[in-house]
Structure 1
């Protein structure tokens, strides 16, 4: 199991300043983490931060978790991925996702209809471009070159560092998981539970089979929050607000993918209650309503021995890259936690090179 760091967005989870984000990336580099994953929503963007952080680290790779499909043309994404692959010396991982209807339509002005079809076409065009083929595609969502104008089929000018830049999809629902297995090189999962993961991997494997592929070489990336304290409740409390935001507020009442995930995991009544409180702007109450069991199943909390046990559980469940987000009260504690996790992985013989 490879070890990665998920720093999220600039301005969240303790990374309010660029120095803090850089300190975490440098710590990951020092402790031989494989990848630093970055996120974007409607604030900081991934490519700019990747270029900056990569210039200040030596060995660690960088990943997009995720670059938003509605925010860039597929050709622009291919250009960006090729550039970052060169900048990082062949250590860039291209994660893609459709985001949600609020961001897609409210921020980018792109209709959210048929997200699976749009993703399929988008990935195919990106692969064409990164493969330095003359890009030509005529689908439902994309038409390149446009048939009624002077446009011509063009080839990417910049050669990526590697022949194949790996493409990941962030997906939650069963249909999207199947699509991920069918067309991607890896999956970026959020709120990943070792107890529920086998069901998700079965769906992904079904998608792989459609393309005559197995799970061999497919990267299963689990984004996992980590909070350490002697008291389990104290450790879990750090994560309640984050869980409530996603379950209750990342989307509308009728379309919230994280609420749907919690429901599929068996937390339907709790998810409804958290959502009702959050949408009523009772955010503290919503956080308090997140069940501790949900946090314990989807994060690593409590003391070092409990974290050690969960590391083994994630590896046994089929995770190939564990992307940890350290949630502690100070930046120094977060940096120290990254070192502890690396040592625990090594002690257990879980870390792959």
Structure 2
């Protein structure tokens, strides 16, 4: 079992600072490091720098939008990153969101699952070498080929997905699935969709790297850790677009999600949002408290059948010392 680290780049005022946390994760035995791309730093450049200044830790992109880069460009990027990192790169993709697609990339958020499916198809064609020829519902291209020799084992493609159809797509076409904000039972239920997709692709779950993201904060000051994590999880559920909240509601917490969203819609009341998140749900979705408690909760996620790695995510407002405390608590798992 391995641990990955997801870095919150908004916490860092320089690339040097991001490199520092990646180096510390490597020293603590973490297998991979990644960070989300929205409207801040470009994660390809960022993790080229990270890879150059680390020795063995894998690097991934979380997650590149198929509305922001052409599929062929994504394939070129993945193959170049494979070369630049000595084979340590995995390409993270997702359907993105209406806000990012429309208000940042200037694209219509139309048929996101179909676009993601065709993007993966085209990347695979580039990986195979030769001329690319694709006649899809979204993309139609051909006549040119990749100017180079793709590696025998090209970079894996990970898909961030929450819903049943997107998860089935990940199981059928991708090399990895990276869910977030799932309870143990919710993750097991969604794993059935992943397995169905794998079967449709003539594969098994062993062909898909399952790595759920778990928000973690491990401090001796237990209530400080829990307050920071509660605030972050409540914000993701109630204010960070519709998808996380919808997913948590579908896992049996519709009333909680409604109360958290109401607090946000009424007056952007983040304190009321956090207060509406019960301890039981916080502990089902995240790992917050003393180092021992956090370690136990991460181990519980590791023990779920089919999980290959747990992706440790920090929470907003953590100091550098608190991040180091969390890394140290999980070192060696």
TM-score (norm 2): 0.93
> What is the aligned counterpart of 1:214 among 182, 195, 204?
204
Specify the alignment match of 1:304 in structure 2.
291
TM superposition shift of 1:325? 2.0
Specify the alignment match of 1:270 in structure 2.
256
Alignment gaps of 5+ in structure 2: none
Distance in 2 between residues matched to 1:291 and 1:16, nearest whole Å: 33
Specify the alignment match of 1:258 in structure 2.
244
TM superposition shift of 1:73? 0.3
Contact 1:244 1:286 in 2 (8 A): yes
Specify the alignment match of 1:3 in structure 2.
3
1:198-241 CA-partner distances (Å, limit 9, x unpaired): 11111100111111111113100111111123465432211233
Contact 1:195 1:297 in 2 (8 A): no
Alignment gaps of 5+ in structure 1: 146-152, 346-353
Specify the alignment match of 1:293 in structure 2.
280
> What is the aligned counterpart of 2:19 among 19, 22, 25?
22
Structure-2 change in CA distance of 1:51 and 1:323 (3 Å): same
Specify the alignment match of 1:174 in structure 2.
164
Distance in 1 between residues matched to 2:318 and 2:100, nearest whole Å: 30
Distance in 1 between residues matched to 2:17 and 2:274, nearest whole Å: 26
> What is the aligned counterpart of 1:320 among 291, 308, 312?
308
> What is the aligned counterpart of 1:156 among 136, 146, 164?
146
Specify the alignment match of 2:107 in structure 1.
110
Distance in 2 between residues matched to 1:162 and 1:302, nearest whole Å: 44
What SS does structure 2 have at the residue aligned with 1:324? Answer: strand
Distance in 1 between residues matched to 2:279 and 2:123, nearest whole Å: 41
Specify the alignment match of 1:348 in structure 2.
none
Distance in 1 between residues matched to 2:137 and 2:20, nearest whole Å: 44
Contact 1:83 1:158 in 2 (8 A): no
Contact 2:213 2:313 in 1 (8 A): yes
Distance in 2 between residues matched to 1:38 and 1:159, nearest whole Å: 28
Q: How does 1:1-353 map to 2 (within 5 A)?
A: 1-8=1-8, 10-11=9-10, 14-145=11-142, 153-230=143-220, 232-251=222-241, 256-280=242-266, 281-317=268-304, 318-327=306-315, 329-343=318-332, 345=333
Contact 2:217 2:322 in 1 (8 A): no
Structure-2 change in CA distance of 1:294 and 1:17 (3 Å): farther
Contact 2:32 2:59 in 1 (8 A): yes
1:127-168 CA-partner distances (Å, limit 9, x unpaired): 1112223111111100103xxxxxxx1111244555231111
What SS does structure 2 have at the residue aligned with 1:4? Answer: strand
Contact 1:249 1:275 in 2 (8 A): yes
What SS does structure 1 have at the residue aligned with 2:93? Answer: strand
TM superposition shift of 1:191? 1.2
TM-score (norm 1): 0.88
What SS does structure 1 have at the residue aligned with 2:137? Answer: coil
Q: CA RMSD in A?
A: 1.8
Contact 2:182 2:248 in 1 (8 A): no
What SS does structure 2 have at the residue aligned with 1:70? Answer: coil
